[in-house]
Amino acid sequence: MHSFSGFLPLAILLPLGAMLLHGAAPARVGASKSRNLNQAKAALVFQWAYGAFLVWIALMAMSVPEGLVLRGKSFAFGFTGLSIEPTLYLDGRNAPFLLLLGICLPLIFTWLRDRDGRYGPSYYVSANLLSLSLAGVFISDSLLLFYLFWETALLGAYFWIGMHGKANIHSGSVYSALIRFFLFTLVGSMPMLVSIIALCATAGRDPGVNGISAIVASMPAAQRWWVFAGFLLAFAVKLPLLGFHGWLRDTYNVSAPACRAVLSALMSKMGAYGLILVLAPAFPHEISRLAPHLQTLCVMGAIYGALLCLAQDRLIDILVYSSLSHLSLVALGVFAAAGDVTSTGLTGAIFQVFNHGLIMAALFAFDARISTTGDSPLLSATGGLRSGQRRLAAVLLTAIFASASLPGLSNFAGEILVLFAAFRSSPWITFLASVGALIGAAALVRAFHRIFLGPRKGHDGMGFSQAADISVPETGLAVGLIALWLVLGLYPMIFIHPVEKTILSIGAAAGLAGLP
């Protein structure tokens, strides 16, 4: 065990401690606004400290070929005799997910901090519950721990949206959107629980995420397919893939701005994590058999999401469907690998997960900063906003260019890897995926032009009021993020090399070193 492995539980315990502190904050009559402002400041300081820790531990794990592993004491689960060994791990495959979490949380809570004292302790308790759950999902090797954090993330999002969401005429009530979100994700996760139980019953113990492959190999073919389907359904809903995205638009619309940014930048990565770290290495035969159908579904999602972007009148809706389109390309990278854990597509998918999270965090944050209320502008009713928000317009346009995979920015390098892997499978798949990416990019640039550079228009009649420009320090944070995009775009191997090194070392240990 590496000496730094003992720090892994802090990724879960630190947000838990913050939850307890926020929840135990004394309520003083007549001073709610000042109390809320103090909580907001304390929460911001914590997010920066927590983010710095996550970045440090993730980079440490990526620099160590064998990664970090922390095993707890094994125990039997009641009368079942099921042996459970709680285990946390972090290596070059899942460290990018934790690194993304560490970068995005401070940025989101800085750009979207509570300046008016509107949010009480429940806001930060819910946010930290979601944060610790995401960290738990990304570093848990034990399948039961993985599932526990998977469901706890749903609870964190449920309370954050339910207690601090806001209804509007574009999405209907918070209740209806929340119930749809809850049922979609719960229906997706219950079959995964059945699959986990089947794996544990077959092995007589909790095999862990990294031990699924060995157990699956001993299963009958029919049972293996059902286990595969249970995992695939859960990950397809959470990502989401086309056909499983019915909860997406309304949930994002009613969520508080910071919650919306976390959902897109981070929570959707739970589905990507499952595809990359669970399905790809454990079910290569099943993915290979279904690869043509799954790749077609991904391409349809990329084109469908991009076309919906053209049909939207609100910037937030364009961002929602743009995210659907880009996440379909992430899944395409996984399914283009067709079960080869050393494929370029898998590396590209991990890189795109990281890129997509950073870009969406910026896009959703600055969309909410355009108006004083956090509402998204209408393309048909707003225009010429650049004159009052020059810095915001500049960083938002750069984020749009990054989303559009402009050469020299990180998304371009990741998209090339995914499309390269897809081309080896089918040139037509690559062509259609490229068309979807092009349409989505055109929709985003068109939206920016109409909102910021188009002719000046009156208010939209629904309370839209332009906010002040972002501050110089906030612009500095955005410039730092843009610099990261440039570094990863011009020299992507600084990120790709440790990922590939870990994948190859694990492949060699499993006897796969001869694979291309």
pLDDT tens per residue, range 33-51: 778 888 899 999 999 999 9
Q: What is the mean pLDDT of the chain?
A: 90
Average pLDDT for 95-99:
97
Q: Which are the contacts of 351, defined by CB distance < 8 A and separation ≥ 6? A: 96, 410, 413, 414, 417, 492, 495, 496, 499
Q: What is the pLDDT of residue 457?
A: 72
Using CA atoms, how far residue 2 sits from 27, 139, 399, in Å, is 44, 15, 38
Average pLDDT for 185-189:
91
Residue 346 within a domain? yes
Q: What is the pLDDT of residue 461?
A: 44
Residue 243 within a domain? no
Alpha helices in 112-220 (DSSP H): 121-139, 143-164, 174-203, 212-217
Residue 218 has pLDDT above 50, yes or no: yes
Average pLDDT for 407-428:
92
In this prediction, residue 167 has a pLDDT band, given cuts at 50, 70 and 90, of: confident
Contact 492, 410 (CB under 8 A): yes
In this prediction, residue 512 has a pLDDT band, given cuts at 50, 70 and 90, of: very low
Above pLDDT 70, what percent of the chain? Answer: 93
Residue 459 has pLDDT above 80, yes or no: no
In this prediction, residue 27 has a pLDDT band, given cuts at 50, 70 and 90, of: low
Among residues 142, 138, 147, 153, the alpha carbon closest in space to that of 195 is found at 147
Contact 90, 23 (CB under 8 A): no
Average pLDDT for 14-37:
79
Average pLDDT for 400-426:
93
Instruction: Flag the least confident range among 37-41, 135-139, 251-255, 336-340.
Output: 336-340
Q: What CA–CA distance (Å, rounded) separates 327 from 355?
A: 11
* Tokens 């090399």 belong to residue: 497
Average pLDDT for 303-311:
96
Residue 292 has pLDDT above 60, yes or no: yes
Residue 115 within a domain? no
Residue 401 within a domain? yes
404-416 burial, b if ≥16 CB within 10 A, otherwise e?
bbeeebbbbbbbb
Q: What is the pLDDT of residue 3?
A: 74
Domain carrying residue 497: 283-516
249/457: higher pLDDT = 249
Number of domains in the chain: 1
In this prediction, residue 85 has a pLDDT band, given cuts at 50, 70 and 90, of: confident
Q: What CA–CA distance (Å, rounded) separates 348 from 411?
A: 10
Alpha helices in 204-243 (DSSP H): 212-217, 221-238
Instruction: Flag the least confident range among 32-36, 204-208, 285-289, 348-352.
Output: 32-36
Handedness of CA 218, 223, 229, 235 (dihedral sign): negative
For residue 501, the number of C-alpha atoms closer than 13 Å in the C-beta half-sphere is: 16
Residue 116 within a domain? no
Q: What is the pLDDT of residue 507?
A: 58
Residue 195 within a domain? no
End-to-end CA distance of the chain: 30
Residue 460 has pLDDT above 70, yes or no: no
Q: What is the pLDDT of residue 29?
A: 46
Residue 45 within a domain? no
Residue 310 has pLDDT above 90, yes or no: yes
Residue 158 within a domain? no
In this prediction, residue 28 has a pLDDT band, given cuts at 50, 70 and 90, of: low
